[in-house]
Amino acid sequence: MGVLSKLVLISMLIGQVAMAELKWPQETPAAAWEAKKTMFLVSSSQPVGMNNAITVRLEQKGDGEAITVQIPVDKFDSDEPDRDKDVAQILGGGSLRFTSQAFNQAAWQDLEKGTTKKISGTLTIGKESFPVEFDIKVTNESGKTVLVGSTESTLSAFKIEPPSVAGGLVASVDDYIKLHVRLFLDELKPN
């Protein structure tokens, strides 16, 4: 039996799906990515990269204010340093930037009350900007108003070619990405 055949058999015996768990840091705004990866054509996993070095602020936009999130790409942690370096390189270094739609005072109050279910905006990766829409949920955690959002898309929608090793025989990343964000609305107060 060849080496590749043995590796495939071992992968099948170990298990079909390994899923990383999304664990938010306490009391810190954070962002995360979640991808789907296949090893040796049979074993699937969903790695997660967490980043708690993000900056969140409000910026004037038209007649309201927008939530702006800066995410330094070299601060993602997926528990695999080599993968984290690859992610930073694929994303072009620097920071990702999300700028939401503008919120006037009434829209901000709806957001804080949890009646807003989606936030649209622009995600900038390198020099390219892409429209995105996050499904959101606003909750109260230990007296703080917390917004948790996520959006699913494809890497190709962001003009990113899914990486692979050995033409996908050893490892390949699916054309899928889920982005997560967790913010504390109490720390953002509109003017």
3-state secondary structure 19-35: ECCCCCCCCCCEEEEEC
Asked whether residue 154 carries a pLDDT value surpassing 90, the answer given is yes
Q: How does pLDDT run across 77-120, given as a tens digit for each residue?
A: 999 999 899 899 989 889 999 999 999 999 999 999 999 999 99
Q: What is the DSSP letter of 166?
A: G
Contact 21, 49 (CB under 8 A): no
pLDDT in the model for residue 170: 62
pTM for the model stands at 0.82
Contact 72, 95 (CB under 8 A): yes
C-beta neighbour count of 125 within 10 angstroms: 19
What domains lie within the chain, and their CATH numbers? 3-187 (2.40.128.110)
Q: What is the token pair recorded at 97?
A: 């930037």
Pairing of strands 171-173, 64-72: unpaired
Q: How does pLDDT run across 33-42, given as a tens digit for each residue?
A: 999 887 666 6
Asked whether residue 129 carries a pLDDT value surpassing 50, the answer given is yes
